[in-house]
Chain A
Amino acid sequence: MFDIAPDHAIGLSAGLIALPFALLGLKLRGAGRLVPGTVLGASVLMTVSGAIHLGLVWTHRDETITAALFVMNGVAYIALSQMYTWRWWRPASAALITATLLGYLGYIVLNFDTPDQVAIATKLVELTALGLVLVPVRGVRPWRRLRWSALGVAVPVLTVVTVATLWIDTLARPDARHVHAGAILQQTNDVATPDQVAAAQRLYDQTAAAIAPYRDWRKAWAAGYRPGGSQTMPSTHWMNQRYVDAGYVMDPQHPQGLVYANTKHGPVLLGAMFQMKRIGQFGPDPGGPHTAWHQHENICFTPFGIEFSLMTPTATCPVGSIDISASPMLHVWIVDNPGGRFAVDIDDKVVKKLDQS
């Protein structure tokens, strides 16, 4: 969702190239004297959207129906963007934009495509264009109330539905490297070699032995580990700032973090966490696919209570929180985790079971 699909990049270029031509075209036609600014804005945005759709035709030429739809959509957008003095321009434009938005959502729901930055940007351009098409102009009486109602209902509903569909689809069907929301996995070989299996076992044994004393959370506290978030959550990462600053790389004696389950008996040690110092710098991977590091991207972080949420597809976070990426990390779970000893997450059921024990 936060990447640009290689076959969509050309669409973005086409849209950006079309923008100055759309503005120049309006200026040359003296459109400012004929129609209000909202209509001019809609015309420019429809030209850009049309160019994006036409730009995507070449990279989708193997998908006949999709390519044909892109051609029809692109041509219709560009034609309508130039017909702003036509009596039925508003209903025709509103219908085209709405049909395009709903058609795209259909494609996403049916798993014919996955949302990326170009697609989301195009949908935002179209939603803005729809708003500009519907907004009534001062002095124009007919349909004024209907248009305000349409603007007040259609644009918010379509925006929320579009964003929600894209987000739900991304969370429900993450790609191979996005193991869960916001976490991207290090690229490794697919099947571990015997040497990698042995190396993973060695790392597990060494780490489990090194952190065994921290089953008593007081010893972890004495060693400099501090809870790094809300303790009302099922589990909390305890971080050792000294080890973070020192930049130890996958050192079982100095893991940057420990993970504790917050149970009614107090903190129960779940495992350790190694963390690299820099964003994008994945650590050594002795166990191949077993010990792939992961990096959390596009998470909304707030210093209030050190809490996290996820950035929306429209790249916004709740006020008081900021979008950050956490440098790569690798967990070693010393409890029986169904996802594996080095899985990105601990299974909720494991934590629940510990709490109930």
Chain B
Amino acid sequence: MQSLFWLIAGISAVPFALAGEVYMGVLGLLTMLLALATLVLGIGVLWRRRRARALAIALEVVCLAGAALLLILPIGFNGGVVSLMVNVALPITVVVLLRKDSSQAASQESRLAR
């Protein structure tokens, strides 16, 4: 979901880039690359790669810190329900789920499969 949200954000910059905002075009491209990287991380987590799990947690912590900073600063950052869900609740959920010991999760799933 997070990868999709960034993909949409990347695509949203395209019309502005076409209208002459060169930097916005570059940022849009970078955002789409971030979306791709997030997707790869998600697959890595699914395949139980330790590094992917650590990187995903790091990514979510950075997102959370950024969102917290923007919420504190008086710049009119959107504090609506969707913004809180996407920028705060989603990263927290991912961190909480990934904190769980992966071996514990595997044993639970194999038990269910039996």
Contact = CB atoms under 8 A, between A and B. Distances in A.
Contacts of B110: 138-139
Secondary structure type dominating chain A contacts? loop
A262 to B, nearest CB: 9
B61 interface: no
A137 B112 contact: yes
Contact of A323 (B6, B77, B109): B77
Interface in B64-105: 70, 74-78, 80-83, 85-87, 105
Interface string B5-28: 111111011011001111110111
A320 B86 CA distance: 17
A297 B4 contact: no
B54 interface: no
Nearest to B14: A309
B9 A302 contact: no
A64 interface: no
Contact of A321 (B8, B27, B114): B27
B2 to A, nearest CB: 9
Contacts of A124: 1, 82, 85-86
B80 to A, nearest CB: 5
Contacts of A304: 23, 26-27
A309 B13 contact: yes
Given A160-B4, A309-B13, A36 B81 contact: no
Nearest to B112: A36
A279 B112 CA distance: 54
Contacts of A208: none
A230 B21 contact: yes
A117 B4 CA distance: 19
**Closest 3 pairs (CB-CB, A-B):** A139-B113, A325-B76, A315-B83
Given A316-B86, A318-B13, A324-B75, 20 more contacts: A37-B108, A120-B81, A121-B81, A124-B85, A128-B1, A138-B109, A232-B20, A304-B23, A305-B21, A308-B24, A309-B13, A309-B15, A312-B5, A314-B8, A318-B9, A319-B30, A320-B27, A320-B31, A323-B83, A324-B77
Interface of B: 1, 4-10, 12-13, 15-16, 19-24, 26-28, 30-31, 34, 70, 74-78, 80-83, 85-87, 105-106, 108-110, 112-114
Interface of A: 2-4, 12, 35-37, 117-118, 120-121, 124, 127-128, 131, 137-140, 155-156, 159-160, 163, 230, 232-234, 279, 297-298, 300, 302, 304-305, 307-326
